[in-house]
Amino acid sequence: MTSDYEAWILSCLAKSSKNIFEFGTCSGKTTALFALNSSSESKVYSITLDPAGLSNLSLGNNQDGKAALNNAKKESIVQSLFYYNYKHFGVLIAYKVTISKFILINI
């Protein structure tokens, strides 16, 4: 989970960024912070795991692996952000953010 201090740093970095890439949407907190603190021309891209691909995912049988898999399952169901309909500098956040889902493939 992103701390308030980390959120402040990420928000400051977003102010000077035009294209922001986030790996792991999670709850969408930092995605929304990026969108809220970046310029109206900026784009935010976030990718997260597709729930359909989680059955093949193995992160180990230890406590950490099980917790990580449980978190991945919770995070993968995010469809849209709470702030999607919020306007920032007259631009809907939904137009600034792209959330993509992907399935991991073992090679």
Q: What share of the chain is helix, strand, coil (3-state, %, to 5)?
A: 40, 20, 40
**What is residue 107's predicted lDDT score, i.e. its pLDDT?**
43
Tell me, what's the pLDDT at 80? Answer: 59
Six-digit token string for 58: 């193995």
Q: Is 44 exposed, middle or buried (0-12, 13-18, 19+ CB in 10 A)?
A: buried
Q: Is the pLDDT of residue 89 over 70?
A: no
Q: Is residue 18 pLDDT above 80, yes or no?
A: yes
Region 48-67: what's the mean pLDDT?
A: 77
The per-residue pLDDT for 12 is 95
Alpha carbon distance 107, 97 (integer Å): 30
Share of the chain above pLDDT 70, in %: 72
Q: Contact, 24 vs 2, CB < 8 A?
A: no
Name the pLDDT band for 87 (thresholds 50, 70, 90): low
